[in-house]
Structure 1
């Protein structure tokens, strides 16, 4: 069904979450054959477009040759420098489209320069003026109501620049996509900054789209839409996985609702059982015990590792992610990761703000009086 191609990079669409996949950084191979591997969410990327026909499914282009080290800010880490993106648009992407789509009826909709494409993404001045008026009215109302309208305060953080830009896109028909990617790859190959160029497709937050009473019915519905929108001939099965979730909801208890939370003791017990099972499987397949020491005599790491997350400042509430190592039996047989989390975390995920992970948490302890908040020398 084609894709909606975003003519500009939008930082808010950068892939910054851990998707449990990695890629090689070009030019880092040592004499002993070792190379630098980085998770996808550390590699510069931009959202190339959205897949038509699949809910919330996007395609990203990754530029591993532009990786220059880890930064504290994930968006700065993954952003493509402006000069590189201008070159990408005008020397690779646009010429490739013009070479493959030999139809002026379609080409007339394609911005002919990066500057034009950037202008197309700018919000109209009328919309900006209306936005400023609305923000002023909301700020006045907030002051009258004591700051409980949900709007940002006048002295609050300024809006992100991306909030005043549109996700302008051009629809590219499916009949052109295969030849277009080959042309893009061919034109990008002479430039060292595009070495290792790779596409990645993913969908997220689709629980309500595919949720069904049984796993079989959910998979059948998803497979129907997948087959109508994607040609699997262009999918690498070695780095493709389906995220399957099982949701447990308490039965209706009348006017008094209940909330189920994963407890720390349950997570610890589950982890011990899973680690024991993993070691047995890896021993049987000569992944752990038969090679439990490397050439230096040091014991290798366990075949799986876990990450736990404290939840809403409760001592016994936990979330947990279990990730197999790159050489583990589980990963070789298709299990990428296991995750156990509480559904009530959704309100916290909406703002991406968590207790003790916000750099401004200490300000909660400050006296509200201005005279006590003036720093002293």
Structure 2
């Protein structure tokens, strides 16, 4: 079994602890020479240094040890998303941020103006699990590097369209608390980061995420007037405006033991905040199923386990999906990701084709992964995926030469050094805390 093999090769001791080091290795550290080539082959390839010509060790997943524990199966809705027909979809009102988000949690090339939907639970506590975005397709720019609107467009949107409409649709006792213009809201957001400083000056002023509440009663009227105004001359670039709502990271909020309990529990939250009559078809739900072994925190002597997907099972699912469609139809796009240098276990994603019967029935995407990835994943940020980190391995003299000849580098070595050390620190803390 895998555990016995790891104990047999005993990788601890003779391999340098790079991850736990708080500094970046230098050329003088000579890490490559601290472990012999034979030892590396043994650990990474299963080649016994005493028998280099023998067949490498093969870990048979099918014959591996199975713990005598009954797995627990839970269901959840991890995320939801889709287009809606009106701002009035927010039954409890909108938590309105007047400045654009520095970093959008939507990985999209569209320009987004984010608004968070707020709802109250039975105890009166506010939740912000559902986000609302206004999409401006006509403001898309070729080769854009950010999902933010240009300041000139955002200023026009705020000063000529949104703020005047909000002022007309609400009473004076509410309007008096809202900023009066784009510049007013922008300078309010940077007031704390600029006006209260007496020593250090940041290259870019820090923005405070100030928000205001828009009550639900006038949202339908606000949206109707927005659609009317953007048809006027001078505002054509705001036309085709759409509203997208999405809720992410709902897994721990919606977990249930049965599908019926899942749907009932989800609707208790969802229907309190969302008026489903404004949802557009299709609307998407990311349904998850997790299989976990019972927790052993109360028994320190118990051996921890990790469940991994067998490759043959993932391939069987892919074959089953393909068998449900005509033989001349292209196969679904499948991607397999090996786990920990092992051949027969890993993760898989599968995306159905646009013309497939599964896509027409509502199945767009399937994803199979081991929850052990949660140790290293921070949202959508994975360790050591910063493409610029490879330049840290360049000789400083070569880097200086390139900088002299080319007039500069596309990456800042100081920023990359900090990113590399932060990644190491995060992974090391995650591993230490999970033991």
Deviation per CA, 1:94-150: give whole Å up to 9, x if none: 11112222x1000101111101111222251599759969xxxxxxxxxxxxxxxxx
- Residue in 1 aligned with 2:148? 79
- 2:227 aligned with 1:122, yes or no? no
The answer to whether the 8 A contact 1:14-1:47 is kept is no
- 2:157 aligned with 1:63, yes or no? no
Structure 1 residues without counterparts, runs of 5 or longer = 17-40, 134-158, 284-288, 293-299
The normalised TM-score by structure 2 is 0.61
- 2:97 aligned with 1:6, yes or no? yes
Partner Cα distance (2:334, 2:268) in 1: 34
Deviation per CA, 1:62-113: give whole Å up to 9, x if none: 1111123355x5xx1x221111111111111111112222x10001011111
**Structure 1 residues 307 and 123: CA distance shift in structure 2, 3 A:** farther
- Residue in 2 aligned with 1:257? 304
Question: SS of the counterpart of 2:115?
Answer: strand
- Residue in 2 aligned with 1:207? 251
1:320-339 aligned at under 5 Å gives the runs 320-339=348-367
- Residue in 2 aligned with 1:340? 368
**Structure 1 residues 353 and 332: CA distance shift in structure 2, 3 A:** closer
Which of 170, 173, 177 is equivalent to 2:212?
A: 170
Partner Cα distance (1:265, 1:345) in 2: 20
Which of 82, 87, 91 is equivalent to 2:160?
A: 91
Partner Cα distance (1:366, 1:50) in 2: 47
Partner Cα distance (2:344, 2:399) in 1: 35
**Structure 1 residues 125 and 9: CA distance shift in structure 2, 3 A:** closer
Partner Cα distance (1:245, 1:160) in 2: 43
- Residue in 2 aligned with 1:181? 223
- Residue in 2 aligned with 1:267? 314
Deviation per CA, 1:279-298: give whole Å up to 9, x if none: 2xxx4xxxxx6xx5xxxxxx
Q: CA deviation at 1:214?
A: 2.2
The answer to whether the 8 A contact 2:333-2:352 is kept is yes
Instruction: State how many pairs are aligned.
Output: 300
Partner Cα distance (1:347, 1:127) in 2: 40
The answer to whether the 8 A contact 2:309-2:345 is kept is yes
Q: CA deviation at 1:309?
A: 4.0
Partner Cα distance (1:353, 1:375) in 2: 32
Higher relative contact order (CA closer than 8 Å, sequence separation 6+)? 2
Structure 2 residues without counterparts, runs of 5 or longer = 1-91, 121-126, 406-435
The answer to whether the 8 A contact 1:2-1:173 is kept is yes
The normalised TM-score by structure 1 is 0.70
Partner Cα distance (1:245, 1:311) in 2: 21
